[in-house]
Each structure stands twice: as structure tokens, then as C-alpha cells.
Structure 1
Amino acid sequence: MGRIRTYEWEDPAISAAVAGRVPGMDFLRDIQAGRLPGPPITATLDIALDEVEPGRVVFSLAPGEEHYNPIGSVHGGVYATLLDSAAGCAVHSTLPEGMAYTSLDLTVKFLRRITVDTGRVRAIGTVVHRGRQTALAEAKLVDATDRLLAHATSSCMLFPVPPS
């Protein structure tokens, strides 16, 4: 017998229309509080936005079989999604109204395997440097005992939001 998982998400255009038009902290806190819909990827993977402060963001995930690769552990793409989200949103948290960002790259180092037995994991993103046109962020993926599971760095391009 197969396994079934269903989930729902809200219209991503709602949040996209607000992104960059309000300060990054306000935008992320509105998503965290449910005043704006979260991105569909958070529903797809069942990711939670746990903490938001200037230059620092924490996402978490309880690993499940639905996250597995064919060899019985969490797929590297799930690691990368968590780390990319944490690093990018850490940068977003520093942006003023009228500014946006996009990831230029993501470098991930996988250090330990994750399974359902690992328990809830956290991706902690922090800004290392933010300039006028680029930002550098890092993210660490840790287990409940803060054991390092993976690490990533991300360069982001910063740009003004085009007028609507």
C-alpha cells in the first residue's frame, strides 16, 4: 500500500505583490503571523518560519519519509531548500521598503545524513555582509542538540523594486 500526503497553499501572488513594497522585517513577520500567505514551498515540504529578526531567520522541518531520496535519507534538495530559504530571508530581513533581492548562488556542504529519527531540524540564516548591491549570508542546518548537519553560503543581488 502506498502512502498519501495532501496539502494546501494560498495564492502566491498575494505575497509577491507586497514583497519589496514594505520593509523586509514587516514582510517576513506578516508571513510568520499568517497575515500574508507563506510561499507554496513551505506547504510542499512542511517548513515552518520560526524566528525573524534583523539579519537572522530560522526555519524548521520535521523530516518525514516524503523528504527521502532512494537510499533512505532526506534528499539533498530538501537540505538546500531549507538553507537557501534561511540565508535569503536573513538578507530580506535587512531590506528597506522599495528594495528586493534574488539569490546569485548557493554553496552547500552536506555533513551528516538526516532521517525521520533525527527529529526536527533548524536552518539558521544570518547575514555576513550587506552592501548596497550585494549581500553575503550563511545558513547552518542543525538538529535539536545543535549538531551541525549542513552549512551553506549564499550571495544575493539587491535591487530596487520596479514601480507598479
Structure 2
Amino acid sequence: MTAHHYAVSVDQLASMDTILSMSGLDFMRAIIRGELAGPPIGQTLGFKPVAADEGTVTFEGTPEFGTMNPIGTVHGGWYGTILDSCMACAVQTMLKPGQIYTTLEYKINILRPIPVGLSVHAVGKVQHVGRSTGVSNGEVRGVEDGKLYATGSTTCIVMDGPKR
């Protein structure tokens, strides 16, 4: 997977009115179907959402040379970003039209280095979503080898979107 397969520009991002008119699950599914632009951070780091159901989202990614740190392994920020994305988007799938969210905090545990060029799935699963917070966990596993490379947890704030 290379970045140019799903490149987006700022004028292609969904408007706040569009975002607020949809449930979080419908919004995520529209991105996966290509009806709405995907997250630009995925373009930069080489990952994208590939599946969404109520309470769970899967991202697929392949860390390439540009994600490496000076010692030749995938930078911890790549693990953190793909985990933050899948875990927070899992919370998003539980939101009603008119609601938005953002990450309050997240934690990751890197268990082993991902080999550069290995495709992984990062799966976020909701533990709880209430009126003001959402909590979810995530795992990064190799697509080909099934090995567990990292885990994470997040707490998100859930809010009413801006009034238009």
C-alpha cells in the first residue's frame, strides 16, 4: 500500500455539517467505501481504515522506510498513531448524529518490532461509550504472521458538535 492510493487534499475533507449529519458508524463506513475522504495522517504514515462495525474499527497499514527511527526500527509514534486511530474511531462508531469526539489520552505497549514492509491490522474495540466519555482498547497484529506487535487503550471525550 502506498500513500498515493488514497491521497486527499484539505478541500476534499468532509465539512462539519456533513460530519454532524451522520452517525459515527455511517461516517466511518463512507470513508471506507471512498465516498468521503480518509484521514490525511494515514496518507502520511501509510495506513487507512478498512472495516467498521458498531464498536469496532480495523485499520490496515504497512510501515515503510520513512517510519523508521535512527536505529533502524519502526518509530514508536507509528504504533501510537495507528492505535490512536483505530481505538478512537471505534468510539466514533458509537456516536449519534450531532456528536463529535477527540482523544483525551492513550497508552500503548510495544511488544516487538514490526518489520518494515510487514502489513498489519490495528483493531480498536469499544469497552464503554457514555454521554461524555468513550473507552476502547486496541491491538496491532501482523496480517501474514498473526503476531501481536502492540496493544493500547484510550479515553475519548464525547461532545455535542458545534451549533450551526
**Counterpart for residue 63 of structure 1:** 63
C-alpha displacement of 1:13: 6.6
| TM-score calculated relative to the size of structure 2 | 0.90
Residue 57 of structure 1 aligns to a residue whose secondary structure is strand
8 Å CA contact 1:100, 1:158 repeated in 2: yes
**Counterpart for residue 137 of structure 2:** 138
AA of the residue aligned to 1:103: T
Which sections of structure 2, spanning at least 5 residues, go unmatched? none
Q: How does 1:54-133 map to 2 (within 5 A)?
A: 54-116=54-116, 119-133=118-132
C-alpha displacement of 1:14: 3.0
Question: Does 1:49 pair with 2:55?
Answer: no
**Counterpart for residue 20 of structure 2:** 20
Q: 1:15-34 deviations in whole A, cap 9, x for unaligned?
A: 24222331001111111111
Change (3 A) 1:16 1:76: farther
Runs of 4+ that moved beyond 3 A: 5-8
AA of the residue aligned to 2:97: E
8 Å CA contact 1:134, 1:155 repeated in 2: yes
Q: How many residues were matched structurally?
A: 159
**Counterpart for residue 153 of structure 1:** 153
Which sections of structure 1, spanning at least 5 residues, go unmatched? none
Residue 50 of structure 1 aligns to a residue whose secondary structure is strand
Question: What is the root-mean-square deviation of aligned Cα atoms in Å?
Answer: 1.7
AA of the residue aligned to 1:15: A
AA of the residue aligned to 1:67: T
8 Å CA contact 1:56, 1:125 repeated in 2: yes
Q: Percent identity?
A: 34
AA of the residue aligned to 1:53: D
C-alpha displacement of 1:78: 0.5
CA distance in structure 1 between the aligned counterparts of 2:3 and 2:114, rounded to whole angstroms: 23
